[in-house]
Chain A
């Protein structure tokens, strides 16, 4: 009985998150962040966004950090460069995945360190779809994807950083 209630509760909270994320014209899936190493004042959050008709991600914010920005990460001749991106283009029907080694949402001046297992709200503003809020789950330090248990995910294509 208690288990049923728990499952029902879990299902309801799951669906409410999905409903929230899918409102309007964009789908936001797998919001996750990395736990921050001790002493770090910045963190990174990642999401996958798909807009059926094309849109732009224009800004982000979260109570977890004083400042949140969209950043690109590129390697030029072995030199890593991180740059703020004013808006992230979302081509129609093509999911855009923010991931380690690519685009990330940079969280600056964290309110407190991001600890694995915790979660925090993240607001994304789109040019057309407006404001969306998702709940970001914090994974382990150095995690490469949105599900913990990196030991079991050795063959996941998402584990490798490309580009």
Chain B
């Protein structure tokens, strides 16, 4: 846009403006990264408000599950799909093992697995899937629009990637969002975190 402006102003003004813009962007990214990697949480902060929001889905028993159901306990929210053979079972297993290490605080933490593949992941499919991990997992699905809304709330990217033979895989963001008992975003885990690392951080947060 600056290029199209035919002003007589000295070029350094344009350069300075562009430079300032870049600085703002870089600062934004750095702040984002700092918060993302921080174990201290940003509940109530600007990013805390930016992740999470209203959604209307159904759980593995076909019962409605909305953002209101997140309140009252800590929740570890993860988006994935049951046809995912690697990262999703790893994450759900690690999360289940981590929660299991919390002793009497176990009941204060839930795991929420939201399918980004509602075409294949019906409530019935999710039921036997989440029960295989032994953790307190809610498996959520819904219509394509409902899932898209939830993903948008959590800044989750997902897309179908067609495979040979007519099938498809899902590309999807694989961060795990730690939501506090008020339903506010607090911090993230990555799928690379081990269950021990997760448990140690959860103990600090929940304890």
Contacts and interface: CB of A to CB of B under 8 A. Distances in A.
B86 A104 contact: yes
A65 to B, nearest CB: 11
Interface stretch (A7-15, A33-41, A121-129): A33-41
B169 interface: yes
Contacts of B82: 37, 39-41
Nearest to B95: A142
Contacts, number: 104
A146 interface: no
A80 B87 contact: yes
A115 B177 CA distance: 30
A131 interface: no
Given A39-B126, A142-B93, A80 B172 contact: yes
A44 B84 CA distance: 9
B94 to A, nearest CB: 7
B69 interface: no
B174 A80 contact: yes
Given A38-B129, A38-B132, A142-B94, A79 B85 contact: no
B194 A79 contact: no
A100 B133 CA distance: 17
A19 interface: no
Interface string A17-53: 0000000000000000011111111111000000000
A162 B87 CA distance: 12
Nearest to B157: A79
Secondary structure at the B interface, as helix, strand, loop or mixed, is: mixed
Contacts of A39: 82, 124-129
Nearest to A150: B97
A34 B129 contact: no
Contact of B167 (A34, A78, A108, A160): A108
A73 B89 contact: no
Contacts of B71: none
Given A82-B84, A104-B85, A142-B133, A161 B171 contact: no
B165 A44 contact: no
B80 to A, nearest CB: 8
Given A39-B125, A40-B83, A84-B163, A79 B172 contact: yes
Contacts of B127: 38-39
The interface centre, meaning the residue of A44, A79, A84 with most chain B CB atoms within 10 A of its CB, is A79
Interface string B118-140: 00000011111111110000000
Contact of B171 (A37, A67, A79): A79
Interface in A53-90: 67, 73, 75, 78-84
Contacts of B194: 159-160
Given A38-B128, A82-B84, A101 B192 contact: yes
